[in-house]
Amino acid sequence: MEELYILNGRIVDPAQNMDETADIRIKNGLIQSIGPKSSPSKKARIINAEGKWVVPGLCDMHVHLREPGREDKETIYTGSRAAAAGGFTSIACMANTQPVNDCQAVTRFIIERAGTAPVKVLPIAAITKQLYGKELTEMGDLVQAGAAAFSDDGVMVRNAELLRRALEYAKMFGKTIIEHCEDLDLSADGVMHEGLVSTRLGLPGIPPMAEDVAVQRDIEIAEFVDGKLHIAHVSTARTVELIRQAKEKGVAVTAEVTPHHLFLTDEVVASFDTNTKMKPPLRSETDRAALIQGLVDGTIDCIASDHAPHTLQEKDVEFSLAPNGIIGLETSLSLVLTKLVHTRRLSLMRMVESMSTAPCRILGIDPPAIKTGKIADITIIDPEEYWPVDPNRFFSKSRNTPFTGWNLRGAAFLTISEGRIAYDAATDRQIT
């Protein structure tokens, strides 16, 4: 394993409240020293990080890798390479594969296939068999096989009693239930946010209360059983307030927000670009502002991409027929840097916490830290790298992004996962 020596980087680690410039020596996959305490050996690779930010490895807790079953969209390997290029050293993949990750065989398959991935892959198993919402999976067996958490992903557990049992069982194993909160009776056949824009475009809308009502129910159940509940891809102002109130009461609820909900609104759907179609839908400017505030004040714990690859053929249809979702692994960090950190709406320390420490904590895994003796999971960020979004240069197999042509400031410079370089912008950047 290559010995690495990182020179003159600004180290930012929220777990230790650290913000200082120092050198880092990495050997045998571990951080050996921090500061000018030793000289690199002649065999060490010298990494000049002057002007760069050195942070604990980023973690994306909401990713779709499509394998097994839809390798035409993405594979564990291609998705992991995209993650490394985006600065992530760990990703958690959702259960809606084909077959569904609802048994030990599929969980173990994912872990085995991830053996050659450049970053760590954490399988999230299904709450219910086949995602049908009728019968709980064998949670104990799935935890034994390596499941990091449980979620039916794009399908809410509609049966309240079943969700209660899921939270109780997951609690026994110290695991989190991740819910897609959507009252399907209220969302019905909607394809975008219900409001003035949907009326003007003549598209059926999804009212904000479809999320709000579901979140309120789930919080009530989680409070009753004292279970660990995580709300995926929060999109409404009311949901932010419900989570804030629940946390004030001591309910074990956490939440995530996506970059596309932070930086886009339903106004962009007027283009009828199917890359603006997702669930939950892009909401109003009022909702967007509330999401940013919720992230800043900690009501929303973390940022997750909800990376959802689809083929060009699937997306190249009329808006109402297109599948929901966009890719995000290779743009998340840069979008947050450009729109929030560089504009000083979000501190660098809080950004690192929301994209590294917090998602690991929610998943119950040891968060990476820049500390002597710790495994070297490190992301080096170039805050001044200017680049235009060109999906043809992505490592992901899919190209479905609404951010094509955006000019971003800041990107991953080097990604180190378990002491090995997973991505080096100087040599690995895609050029087409």
Question: Which residue numbers are catalytic?
Answer: 306
Rounded Cα–Cα distance for residues 329 and 78 (Å)? 11
CB 82 within 8 A of CB 394: yes
Rounded Cα–Cα distance for residues 198 and 83 (Å)? 34
86-97 as b/e: b if 16+ CB within 10 A: bbbbbbbbbbbb
Q: How far is CA 58 from CA 61, 90, 258, in A?
A: 10, 7, 15
Rounded Cα–Cα distance for residues 329 and 87 (Å)? 9
58-63 sheet: strands from edge to edge? 58-63, 88-93, 120-125, 149-151, 177-179, 229-231, 253-257, 302-303
Number of other residues whose CB lies within 10 A of the CB of residue 388: 11
Rounded Cα–Cα distance for residues 302 and 92 (Å)? 14
CB 39 within 8 A of CB 24: no
Rounded Cα–Cα distance for residues 432 and 422 (Å)? 21
CB 357 within 8 A of CB 427: no
Omega of the bond prior to 280 within 30 degrees of 0, cis? yes
